Amino acid sequence: MSRKVIVEVVIKNPQGLHARPAAMFVQIASKYNSNIALQKGEERVNGKSIMGILTLGIEQNAKVVLEADGDDADEVVTELTQLLTKESME
């Protein structure tokens, strides 16, 4: 059964979501079948695209919306939220 999960997350990493954590995000997202989107303000990108994520320019304390739609939406949102709320993603 397909399910949509949407959460708002505040980025904790002092460097924001730069190249290394963005790559980790995409690596995790790609393990799942759900469609994943990340949104900052009005900009929304594919959560499995490192270039898309980097174009958002996500900094520390930024609020982002994480959305997953699919059979494993709960699991992917849980895992990605844990990554995004870590103090350090190095």
pLDDT value, residue 89: 65
Q: Does the active-site annotation cover 18?
A: yes
pLDDT digits (tens, 9 = 90+) for 7-58: 999 999 999 999 999 999 999 999 999 999 999 999 999 999 999 999 999 9
Question: Residue ranges of the domains in the chain?
Answer: 3-84
Annotated active-site residue in 18, 35, 54, 83: 18
> Following DSSP, what letter does each residue of the chain receive, concatenated?
--EEEEEEEE---TT-S-HHHHHHHHHHHTTSSSEEEEEETTEEEETT-HHHHHHT---TT-EEEEEEEETTHHHHHHHHHHHHT-S---
In the prediction, which pLDDT does 46 show? 98
pLDDT at 82: 95
Q: Which fold has domain 3-84?
A: Histidine-containing Protein; Chain: A; (3.30.1340)
pLDDT band at 2 (very low <50, low <70, confident <90, very high): confident
Query: Is the pLDDT score of 70 beyond 70?
Result: yes
